[in-house]
Amino acid sequence: MFTGIVQSIGKIAALEQKGDDARLRIAAGKLDMSDVKTGDSIAVSGVCLTVVEHSAEGFSADVSSETLSRTTLGRLRAGDAVNLEKALTLSTPLGGHLVSGHVDGVGAVVGRRDAGRSVQFRFKAPATLAKYIAEKGSVCVDGVSLTVNAVHGAEFEVNIVPHTLTETTLGALRSNAEVNLEVDVLARYLERLMLGGRAAEGGSAITREFLARHGFTK
């Protein structure tokens, strides 16, 4: 598990194809590698990867064909910047929200504008994920925990403060850029619990009427 608080911007040092899979070599930047061991988990732009080799300067991780096809990692090239976060421990401050590192889908930037000293981004999520994104809820974008300011159908808006713009890769995003999205895991479990057995049978998503019947809205 992770918090969505990025600890370093790293760079792809190399991407080696191994059949349908790949091995990434990542320069860790300012990430403290002194306590990293083989088998540890590190989130790379929101994707949980397992360390297979490591040094003071960086680490390597294998990426399956499934992950390459379902995230932006398959589009990376040597020199590309990535957000890095080591797995949380019991002593790690939970400054963001609980993030699993299991990307739900790839979204895209559809708008960017200055908002004072911050930047307001509008992202478009896949239609299957939009129902899990709520105003003032949490969403993870390229490994960064963000608060949703507004939702418009499958699109949602966030404001990114100057510190986050400089300490993550989000500051470099422009229109049409693709991003890894992970919705709040609590929203998925809530849907499963409220739908009960119907979820396993492909039941319909939660509706306003369903919530009202169960006392969650008026």
- C-alpha 164, offset from chain centre: 14
pLDDT of residue 198: 56
pLDDT of residue 92: 84
| Fold match flag (8-86 vs 105-183) | yes
pLDDT of residue 12: 98
Among 3.40.50.2300, 2.40.240.10, 3.40.350.10, 2.40.30.20, name the CATH number for the domain at 105-183: 2.40.30.20
- C-alpha 186, offset from chain centre: 15
pLDDT of residue 127: 94
pLDDT of residue 56: 96
Structure tokens at 8: 């370093």
Write the single-letter amino acid at 41.
Answer: S
Among 3.30.479.10, 1.10.8.60, 3.30.9.10, 2.40.30.20, name the CATH number for the domain at 8-86: 2.40.30.20
Domain chopping of the chain, boundaries: 8-86, 105-183
Tell me which of 203 and 25 has the higher pLDDT. Answer: 25
Residue 202 near residue 182, CB atoms below 8 Å: no
pLDDT digits (tens, 9 = 90+) for 75-114: 999 999 999 999 998 888 888 898 999 999 999 999 999 9
In this prediction the pTM is 0.87
Separation of alpha carbons 14 and 197, rounded Å: 46
Confidence of residue 189 (pLDDT cuts 50, 70, 90): confident
DSSP string covering 63-132, please? E-HHHHHHSGGGG--TT-EEEEEEPP-TTS---S--B-S---EEEEEEEEEEETTEEEEEEE--HHHHTT
Residue 14 near residue 25, CB atoms below 8 Å: yes
> Which letter, b or e, does each residue of 145-156 get, where b requires 16 or more Cβ atoms within 10 Å of its Cβ?
bbebeebeebbb
Of 81, 67, 93, 58, whose CA–CA distance to 182 is shortest? Answer: 67
Tell me which of 207 and 172 has the higher pLDDT. Answer: 172
In angstroms and rounded to an integer, the radius of gyration of the C-alpha atoms of the chain is 18
pLDDT of residue 99: 94
